[in-house]
Amino acid sequence: MPRDLRYVPPGSLVEATCRTIQGRYLLRPSPELNEIFYGVLGRALDHWEVGIVGFHCLSNHFHALLLPEDAEALARFMGFVEGNLSKEVGRLHDWKGPMWADRYHSVIASDEPEAQVARLEYLIGQGVKENLVRRPEDWPGPSSVPQLLHGGEIRGKWFDRTAEYEHRRELRRKGEDERIERTAHADEKVYKLSAPPCWEKFSNLERQRRAGELARRREAAGRRRRERTGKPVLGVKRILRVDPHDRPQSFRQTPRPRFHAIEPALRAGLEKAYRRFVDDYRTAAADLLAGRRPNFPAHSFPRPMPFRRGRIAERARGPDP
């Protein structure tokens, strides 16, 4: 099944999801993994205009609620996050080969407050929904729940591997011991969450109170589910003992909608706008292939042109007189 075109209308709240290959527990919580995850997000914010409303990283996937400037900003941001997490986690867990099952998946939430709050509640409930912990705050891995509930900054470390390589190279040239401190070339990244569009008018304390209500609701739902099924919580100690190279025997993936919306009429309108966008995009792509000047729709993210021999020489020569 082909992927949808990358479509992000201005001001959209986007839910992005990334899953590890074969569902392996490569994102298992640890102090090192946590600071890496926070640091990579912070470094990505240095480069692209993307607001982070919230995120939650379980052992084999993570969700993030984002406010990208456009489709290209989202693609660049997520490409940077996935690429650098893959390198750092591979180094941390001695994992060779690809880390992600495929490219990130994104779903746009409508501007309905109910739809946006529902996505935030879903994100806060990660870990509790899977019966891993009793409360959202108990999850030991990377999560924005503490900041959503209590405010404050997120802190992580970005490891400058280029500077580290040059340092080792210089030590090797001098014949000295190449061992250096793990954090010798680490920069601290500090940042804050952005407010969900539906909560922008509220004060920080009011946002924290509302987020707290969502957390308690998820906690109560988890408790009722355990009472009904009799299945105990896995617990933090067992979560931390999991081998990162292990994978679940099976895991269920539900169909992913193109939009999160409450009102059927609004969902239908969003689908119609997307189909119109696709028609305009395909028309522009056909013009491009035919050698005509394309007119891609606003806020689209056209694929890069394929390489052709002679193009560099044509650019150097300039336009014909």
Residue 180: pLDDT band (50, 70, 90) is confident
Digit-coded pLDDT (tens) for 79-129: 999 999 999 999 999 999 899 999 999 999 999 999 999 999 999 999 999
pTM, entire model: 0.90
* Over residues 208-227, mean pLDDT: 96
Question: Given this model, what pLDDT does residue 301 score?
Answer: 80
Give residue 151's pLDDT band: very low, low, confident or very high (50, 70, 90): very high
Write down all domains in the chain, each with its CATH number in brackets: 13-262 (3.30.70.1290), 274-317 (no CATH)
Q: Give the residue-averaged pLDDT of 36-55.
A: 95
Q: How many CA atoms lie within 13 A of 271 on its CB side?
A: 10
pLDDT band of 314, cuts 50, 70, 90 = very low
Rounded mean pLDDT, 64-90: 95
| pLDDT of the residue at 266 | 94
| Confidence band of 319 (pLDDT split at 50, 70, 90) | very low
pLDDT for the residue numbered 26: 97
Q: Which of 310, 278, 261 is nearest to 119 (CA)?
A: 261
Segment 16-34 shows an average pLDDT of: 96
Helix (H) or strand (E) holding 242: none
Between CA 60 and CA 89 the distance in angstroms is: 12
Bigger pLDDT: 251 or 65? 65
Helix and strand totals (H; E) in the chain: 9, 7
Residue 221 sits at φ, ψ, to 5 deg, of -65, -40
Burial string for 255-267 (b: 16+ CB within 10 Å, else e) reads eeeebbbeeeeeb
Contact 285, 294 (CB under 8 A): yes
